[in-house]
Amino acid sequence: MKMHAAPAQQITAYPWANLIRSSPRIAFLLICLAASHVAAAEVKDVYVAGRGVSLEQAFGNALKEVKGEKRNFWVVATGTEATRLTKDSAEQRVLRSLNAVRERGGVVYACRADLLRAGVKDDDLLDGVASIYGYGAQEWAGLLPVRKTAVVLPKEGAQAQLILATCSGDSQATSGQ
């Protein structure tokens, strides 16, 4: 007659591993947090004005990040912040910040859907501001952003996707930096 020994408790080098095994909810939460951190880390140099961030704050954050060097970065204006980029309503500080952003290699987009809701036409926008439609998560799969004419998007897919998702009003879009 063979005797079976009781299974030994698995010892791991990572003390949190036992906690994850014992609670699937904690494991799920950790996976979600890790995924959001990785997603945020992948999308660099995209700054969003709107959703609680003013145009001045987005421009300021972008300019602070580039620290005077010339490189590619993008500022996306949504909601009422997009309408502040018009020839009739732009304030001097917005004009100065816009010029500084463009001098350092930045591209400024205004979400076209927000502009249309406010009755703003492309001709009303400040020079150097491009209006852009967005694509939602459903529309993005397998779609290249070529149907929008005269708008240059970043070569980096994650950056282009964030810009397009921001202007789609997609609830999945994050705010970048």
Question: pLDDT value at position 156?
Answer: 78
SS3 string of the chain? CCCCCCCCCCCCCCHHHHHHHHCHHHHHHHHHHHHHHHHHHHCCCEEEEECCECHHHHHHHHHHHHCCCCCCEEEEECHHHHHCCECCCCCHHHHHHHHHHHHCCEEEEEEHHHHHHCCCCHHHECCCEEEECCCCHHHHCCCCCCCCCCCCCCCCHHHHHHHHHHHHCCCCCCCEC
Question: pLDDT value at position 42?
Answer: 44
Question: pLDDT value at position 82?
Answer: 94
The pTM assigned to this predicted structure is 0.66
Q: What is the mean pLDDT of each run of 10 residues along the chain (177 residues)?
A: 54 53 56 42 79 93 88 93 92 93 94 92 92 68 47 80 81 46
Question: pLDDT value at position 3?
Answer: 58
- Domains in the chain, start-ordered, CATH in brackets? 14-43 (no CATH), 44-168 (3.40.1260.10)
Question: pLDDT value at position 8?
Answer: 52
